[in-house]
Amino acid sequence: DTETGSIWTDPQDLELMNLVLTDSGQYTVSVDENTKLEVYDLVEFNSSVSLSCSSSGSSPFSYRWLNGSSEVTASDGVQFGDGGCILTIDSVIRYDKVLFMCIVSNNINRYCAGLGVLPPGPVNGTLGGNVIFKTTINPTTISTIIWTFGDPPVSIVDFLISEGPVTGVGYVGRISLDNSTGSLELRKLTLNDNGTYRVSLRKAGVIQVGNTSLNVYETISNVTLRANVIDLVELKDTAIFTCSVSSGSSPLSYHWLNGSSEVTARYGIQLGDGGRTLTIANVTQYDQGPYRCIVANPVSSEPSQNLTLTISYGPENTRMKVTPLDVLYGSGSNLTLSCSAESSPPSQFQWALNGTLLYNIGPELSLENIQASQSEPISGAIITTSPNPPIIEGNSVTLTCDASGSIISREWMKDGQLLSAGGNMIISEDKRVLSINPVKRTDSGEYLCRVSNPISTADAKHDLIVNSVGSLTPGLSAGAITRIVIAILVVVGGAVGVAVFFIKKN
C-alpha cells in the first residue's frame, strides 16, 4: 500500500514500514477454509463431468487445476468456464480416474481443494490414552502449521518455520507436533477432548486445510453375567441371562457365546434390552453352556466369567445288555445284566423279575449258576377276535395272539400254511396282531398262532367263519344278533363236534 507503506512480503505475512503512533492497536487476519470440490460417479465414453471449485474470501480469484501432479490445460474435450472455477471434461475415459485438485488464490492466500490433508474420521481414543492425528502429507518443508479445536476455535499449536511452535493454553505437555508432516499427537485424553479438530498447513506457497473429529471412550471393565436361576428342568423352565458392566462408554455391543458357538436370536431364544439380556425358553439338555457375554465399544472389549446351567432331564435312551450274549444258556451258566440310561442327575436302577421288584439296586444284576427252573415257560396261549362273530364279508377282522411267559417269537398259520403279510392281510411288527381288511369268504378257515421261547412252545387256534351278506337266517338281521356262542369239544385225538347257537334279540 503506497499510502501506508505496508506490503505483502508473503501471501500470509504483512510487513508495516514507516511506523507511526496511529499504527498502534490490535491486528487480525481472517482465513476462510470453505474451499471444496464436488465429486461424481461416471460411465466411460457415455458421461461428461463438470468440476466446480468454489471459495469465499476477497476477490479477485485465480484458479489452477491439477490432474494428479500434472497441470490441466484447455484442449479438445477439456474446457474451462466462469473465470476458471469450472472444469468440464467431455466423454470421460478410465484414465481420467485420478485425483483432481484446484488451487484458488487471491492477493492474500492460495488454497488447495480436492487433496485430503486428514484421512476420513472420526478418530477414536481411550480415556487417559493418546491419539495421533496423522496427515496424508509426506515429510517435507512446511512453513506454517495451525491446529485448532472446537467452535469457536481454540488454539492447540501454531508453528512458524521462522519461530517454532507455540502451544495453546491447556495443551502444554500434552502434545507433540511433527513439523515435517503436520501430524499431531494428543496425550492424556479426557472426555472434554471430544469434538472437531482442524489443521491448516502452508507449503510451497499453498495452504491446505483439513478437519476431523475425536471421540474419547472409557474402556470397558468388570463385565458380570448373571442368570435368574441355574437349576432348571428340561422342557419346563426358562433361563434369563443379564450382562452388565461397571464402567465403559457407549455405544456398547453385546456378543453371546455357548461354549465356542455364537448365540443368536431364533425360535425359543430372544435377545433384549439392546442385546444385554438373553432369554432361552423351555431349556433342553443341550442348553447347559458354559455361557459368557463379550461387551465391546469402539476402543475396548471385555468378556464376562463363564456361567453353566444345571438342567435335569431323563431318564431316556434306556438300554439293557446281557453278558455273555446268547439265546439259549446251559444250566450252571453265569449272566450279567447291565442297564444304562441318559439322565441328569444320574439315574437310579432297581431290578424286577416278572413284575416283582428285587432287592438288587444299581446298573448291574449278576445271575450265577442259573438253572432251567429259573426260565419261564409259555402257557395260556389264546386268540381273540374283534369284532365278535358273525364276521360279515367285506368288513374287517382282527385276530390277537397272547400268552403268559417269556415270548421270543410268534408265527401265524392258516389251514397249516405259514402266513405272511400282503394283500388284505397285515401282521404287526411283533406278530401279535393279524388284521384282515377287507375280509373275504375265502379267508374262512383254521388260524393258528404259535408262540415260543428256547424252552417251550404253545399253540392257539381259532376257526374263522366269514358269512356273505344276506346268508344269515331269514328275518334275522345282523343288528338283531346279540351274541353267537361257539362250543368246541376237544378230546385227545381230535375234535368231537362243533355246535353253533344263534340267540335272537327280544
Same domain flag for 101 and 130: no
Q: Using CA atoms, how far apart are residues 295 and 256, in angstroms rounded to an integer? A: 9
Structural domain boundaries enclosing 438: 379-471
Length of the chain: 506
Residue 441 φ then ψ, to 5°: -60, -35
CATH number reported for the structural domain that contains residue 229 in this entry: 2.60.40.10
Q: What is the pLDDT of residues 1-20, one digit of tens each?
A: 434 444 343 445 566 666 77
pLDDT at 481: 33
Q: Using CA atoms, how far apart are residues 397 and 399, in angstroms rounded to an integer? A: 7
More confident residue, 382 or 64: 382
Look-up: residue for cell 368231537?
496
Same domain flag for 276 and 295: yes
Alpha carbon 334 to its chain centroid, in Å, reads 54
Q: Where are the beta strands (DSSP E) in 55-203?
A: 62-67, 70-71, 78-81, 86-89, 100-105, 110-113, 123-126, 131-133, 144-149, 154-160, 164-167, 175-177, 184-186, 195-203
- Least trusted range by pLDDT, from 8-12, 70-74, 403-407: 8-12
Cell of 117: 490433508
On average, the pLDDT of the chain sits at: 82
Same domain flag for 178 and 239: no
Q: Of 217, 235, 250, which residue is a domain's last?
A: 217
Q: Using CA atoms, how far apart are residues 385 and 400, in angstroms rounded to an integer? A: 6
Q: What is the pLDDT of residues 312-359, one digit of tens each?
A: 999 999 999 999 988 777 888 899 999 999 999 999 999 887 777 877
Same domain flag for 2 and 109: yes
pLDDT band at 499 (very low <50, low <70, confident <90, very high): very low
pLDDT at 115: 56
Same domain flag for 486 and 458: no
Same domain flag for 14 and 100: yes
pLDDT band at 83 (very low <50, low <70, confident <90, very high): confident
Query: Cis bond leading into 438, ω under 30°?
Result: yes
Alpha-helical segments (H) within 237-374: none
Cell of 463: 376257526
Same domain flag for 10 and 100: yes
pLDDT of residue 500 exceeding 60? no
Number of domain units in the chain: 6
Return the number of other C-beta atoms located less than 10 Å from residue 135's C-beta: 21
pLDDT at 191: 95
Q: What is the pLDDT of residues 249-285, one digit of tens each?
A: 999 999 999 999 999 999 999 999 999 999 999 999 9
Same domain flag for 265 and 288: yes
pLDDT at 40: 54
Asked if 106 and 62 touch (Cβ cutoff 8 Å), the reply is yes
Q: What is the DSSP letter of 61?
A: -
Same domain flag for 392 and 450: yes
- Least trusted range by pLDDT, from 4-13, 22-31, 94-103, 282-291: 4-13
Angle 39-42-47 from CA coordinates, rounded to 5°: 120
Q: What is the pLDDT of residues 443-468, one digit of tens each?
A: 999 999 999 876 778 999 999 999 98
Same domain flag for 44 and 62: yes
Could you tell me whether strands 231-233 and 175-177 are parallel, antiparallel, or unpaired per DSSP bridges? Answer: unpaired
Same domain flag for 6 and 93: yes
pLDDT at 265: 95
Sheet holding 456-464, edge to edge: 417-418, 409-414, 445-453, 456-464
Amino acid symbol at 414: K
